[in-house]
Amino acid sequence: MSNTPHELSEEFPAQADQIKTLRSTNAHFAKLADTYHEVNRAVHRAETDVEPTSDVHMADLRKQRLHLKDQISAALSAANN
């Protein structure tokens, strides 16, 4: 099985433990992380032509992934304060 790029542990390596903790203690964060995971996998499948898609749909998926990553980053920052 190939490595799926952009996993949360790769995007936020210094906060890996915090991500695990928030996933188990914060329902909203867990939903964000789960949705990010689903969208990231969809992007990877499209990029590797496992599930080919249109350029427009690919762009939309990437924008959605970025938006989720921004929300996750904000949640991690808020948890540190």
**Domain extents for the chain?**
15-80
State residue 1's pLDDT score. 38
- pLDDT at position 63 over 60: yes
Instruction: Name the token pair of 73.
Output: 């980053």
Quote the crossing angle between the two packed helices 27-47 and 16-25, to the nearest 10°: 120
Residue (of 74, 62, 75, 64) closest to 35 by Cα position: 64
- What phi and psi values does residue 80 have, to the nearest 5 degrees? -80, -15
Q: pLDDT by residue (tens digit) across 5-35? A: 999 999 999 999 999 999 999 999 999 999 9
